[in-house]
Homo-oligomer: A and B are copies of this chain.
Amino acid sequence: MITRIDKLQIELPMPDGPDANGAAAVQELLGGKFGEMSTLNNYMFQSFAFRQKRKLKPFYDLVASITAEEFGHVELVSNTINLMIYGTTFPGDPDVTPMQNAKDKRNSYHFIDTAQTAKPFDSMGAGWNGADYVFNSGNLVLDLLHNFFLECGARTHKMRVYEMTDNPVAREMIGYLLVRGGVHVMAYAKALEIATGVDITKMLPIPSLDNSHFETTRKFEAEGVHRKLYTFSAKDYKDVVKIWKGTHPEDGGKLEVIQGTPQGGPIPDLPPIPESFAPGISQEDFMEIAKRLQRSAGI
């Protein structure tokens, strides 16, 4: 089970203008093979399918708790996309062609299918696929190796999308996720070391450019975000502490496990887009709704 908190893991800045093609690129980080839907669902299904959860509890706790963090990453990337597209079209009567600017944008689903928001597909609009994008062999070492590889692949994609757009929302989000991805890749490397005796943290980072080269990672690293592993649980998954311990190889700082979640930031409230009929509630409708909300409260 989960409980939900109405916050993002960090506060997102506003973009300085519409950037629909940037948003199309960011979709790869959401619904692509190496996007956050993949990390979420890989770890989620691995945690459901974990054999001998009790005997191998530190490993189970690791996979299960990172699952919960990934939910928040899906949320962050989605909110980023939603913010980036806004402003591409303008309000107006249908006959003035208020969505004319959308016609040449790279992702038409953003304008025809959704009201200018994210869905789980990739940068070319191909749907996230549960059969092809989830790996869940049940073999502990192989699953950890996969997860280590997946995080490195995801890091590569994030770095490349960062280089494609200087949109401040995209960069803030990617900066944060590079730091958190760095934690996850190291956590899986440590788990692999414990499971097999081979220390592959020495391969890191992959690609070899480290996070400090990305402006928006630096403030998070300055806050020590790269040394913290959250359990994302009030009481469970405590044995991650048996894996996430020691010091950080880059700065020698002490690794720490935080029971619970980061403090987080507000979820942006998205303005209406009348030309997309979203949410499509007129002031008149709203007055009726308000009445019905009250009336039905009276029952």
Contacts and interface: CB of A to CB of B under 8 A. Distances in A.
**Residue from A22, A137, A195 with most neighbouring chain B CB atoms (10 Å):** A137
A282 B208 CA distance: 9
Interface string A250-276: 000000000011101001011111011
A78 interface: yes
Given A193-B292, A245-B297, A276-B138, A160 B99 contact: yes
B203 A196 contact: yes
Contacts of A195: 281, 285, 289
Copy tally for this chain in the complex stands at: 6
B128 A156 contact: no
A87 to B, nearest CB: 14
B49 A115 contact: yes
Contacts of A152: 142, 145
B164 A102 contact: yes
A14 interface: no
A119 to B, nearest CB: 5
B119 A134 contact: yes
A181 to B, nearest CB: 14
Interface in A208-245: 208-209, 213-215, 232-237, 242-243, 245
Contacts of A187: none
Interface residues of A, number: 161
A35 to B, nearest CB: 10
Contacts of A260: 3
Contacts of A93: 213
Contacts of A131: 31, 109, 119-121, 125-128
A271 B52 contact: yes
Nearest to A208: B280
Interface string A77-95: 0110010000001000111
A16 interface: no
B132 A296 contact: no
Given A149-B145, A280-B208, A273 B165 contact: no
Contacts of A293: 58, 194, 242-243
B120 A134 contact: yes
B109 A106 contact: no
21 contacts: A32-B113, A33-B132, A44-B74, A45-B78, A45-B117, A50-B279, A52-B272, A100-B164, A102-B164, A120-B131, A129-B129, A138-B279, A139-B156, A141-B207, A146-B149, A194-B292, A197-B202, A198-B198, A243-B293, A243-B296, A245-B299
